[in-house]
Amino acid sequence: MPILRPFVGRTRELEQLHAELKVQKPSLVIAYGRRRIGKSRLLIEAIADTPSIYFQATRVTSALNLSAFKAEIGNALGNDPILDGLSSWDSVLHYLSEKAADQHPRLGVIIDEFPYIVDEDPALPSIVQKFWDSGSPSKGNLKLILCGSAIAQMEELMAGKNPLYGRKTMSIDLKQLPLKDAIQFFPSYSPQEALEAYAIFGGVPHYLQLCDPDLSLRENIIRLLLTETGPLIDDPMATLTSELRDTSTYSSILAAIADGCTTHKDITGRLNMEGASLSPYYAKLDTLDLIERNRSLDAEPKSRNQRFSISDPLMIFWHRYVRTNLSAISNGHGNEVYSSIIVPDFASYMGAAFERIARHFMMRSASSLLGVPASEVGAIWGHADFDIDVAGRALDNRFFYGECKWLNAPMDIGMLNRLIENSERTAYGKGKSDKIYILFSRSGFKDDLLERVNADERIHTLTPEAMIAWMLEDNPHKE
């Protein structure tokens, strides 16, 4: 197995996997998620202390993958003439069951990028089904983990018409790391810098591991994204080409959303495709965890008041600053792109990013702040003269409303008053008397606002420093 950097986060997923691997029964685990999300790293960590075999398939014939799989088995369990003589997936799987029964109880076997093999050998899911139904895995409680980045194919493995339907004992749909885990990749950064880094690289472990924590954020941006040989300069397009055949429309939709086109009408207008149905494209991007579709929390359930957003911060940053300046970057002018293009616009970029981060914070950390978790978090929009950056409901049925400002100046009491007024104008939480108000500010709060906060326990103020402290459960006192 490769030498890897210290593992960060995924506590819940690891606990779930460890529990499954300890069960005195055979396990068939299906793990999937978009590329770069850390699936392989998580699975390697999960089986690190148990007898195990890790095999990563490649885009070659099924026979060549089988040969490479046998080599990994030999490396892990020792060379065996019997193994050398096996020539089918079925016989090799039965061999592993016998090894689990005789020498290695609860043997863990990971077949990574499983769809690569299925592409060349469509019968493989049926072969695995026949093997699983034979009862052979029960002999030594074999732990078979099938993993892949082709999300649609992995989900299809569990669908009703697939041979493996009903056989899985556990499935993991791996998402981006939460903010709490992502900021651990930047231990020397200030809270503000950590939020800025997250607003660019998001929670994709591969992106975060490429960042050098000893370099400034500016240096990491230039090195990874604004240099012609930078490892991330073409990664957003590679993400699309690895999953899709014709990427032009998908990329154009993402570019439009990154430029602020958040409705279907805006997107089709930008693409000069008025009247066209983009639903299949939206659905595919949604499946790949690249976009989200949300409604205002005070909209009717069947309302078409829907907004699109990009779920991958690097995709937003890349379309906004890198794609539009690729020629300059290719000619070695990355420093100038950073100074002349990114720096003057970055506060605006962070304004929208800070709202997303605040909603993420409330979904993940409301229990620390409010005493109970949030049941839903979103925003309120679609009104002629107001919107609300953050809104939601806690499990105890209290409603909360938030205002976010990424400004150099402290927030003042007028901003609080407007938030309270707007909370009374929306139908969301209408009639509730125990509403909670949360102010998120990059630059702190003016004295008159803090005086009001100290006199009203329903109001909370959060700077980047306080947000990170709450996430790390240091439970700071209200400002």
Q: C-alpha angle 344/348/353, rounded to 5°?
A: 130
- Sequence letter at residue 338: Y
pLDDT tens track, the chain, 479 positions = 334 467 888 999 999 999 999 999 999 999 988 888 999 999 999 998 888 999 999 999 999 999 999 999 999 999 999 999 999 999 999 999 999 999 999 999 999 999 999 999 999 999 999 999 999 999 999 999 999 887 777 888 777 788 888 899 999 999 999 999 999 999 999 999 999 999 999 999 999 999 999 999 999 999 999 999 999 999 999 888 888 888 999 999 999 999 999 999 999 999 999 878 899 999 999 988 899 999 999 998 777 778 999 999 999 999 999 999 999 999 999 999 999 999 999 999 999 999 999 999 999 989 888 999 999 999 999 888 999 999 999 999 999 999 999 999 999 999 999 999 999 999 999 999 899 999 999 999 999 999 999 999 999 999 999 999 988 874 444 43
Q: Which residues contact 64 (CB under 8 A, 6 or more apart)?
A: 58
With tokens 């049926």, the residue in question is 126
For residue 304, the model assigns a pLDDT of 74
pLDDT at 246: 83
Instruction: Decide: helix, strand or coil at residue 439.
Output: strand
Whole-number pLDDT of residue 438: 97
C-beta separation of 232 from 314 below 8 A: yes
Pairing relationship of beta strands 388-394 and 291-295 according to DSSP bridges = unpaired
Taking each helix axis from N to C end, the angle separating 217-225 and 191-201, rounded to the nearest 10 degrees, works out to 20
CA-CA-CA-CA torsion sign (80, 84, 86, 91): positive
How far is Cα 326 from Cα 316, in angstroms, rounded to an integer?
15
Terminal-residue alpha carbon distance, the chain:
48
pLDDT in the model for residue 474? 46
- Can you state the percent helix, strand and coil of the chain, rounding each to 5? 50, 15, 35
- The pLDDT assigned to 217 comes to 97
Contact 198, 357 (CB under 8 A): yes
pTM above 0.75, yes or no: yes
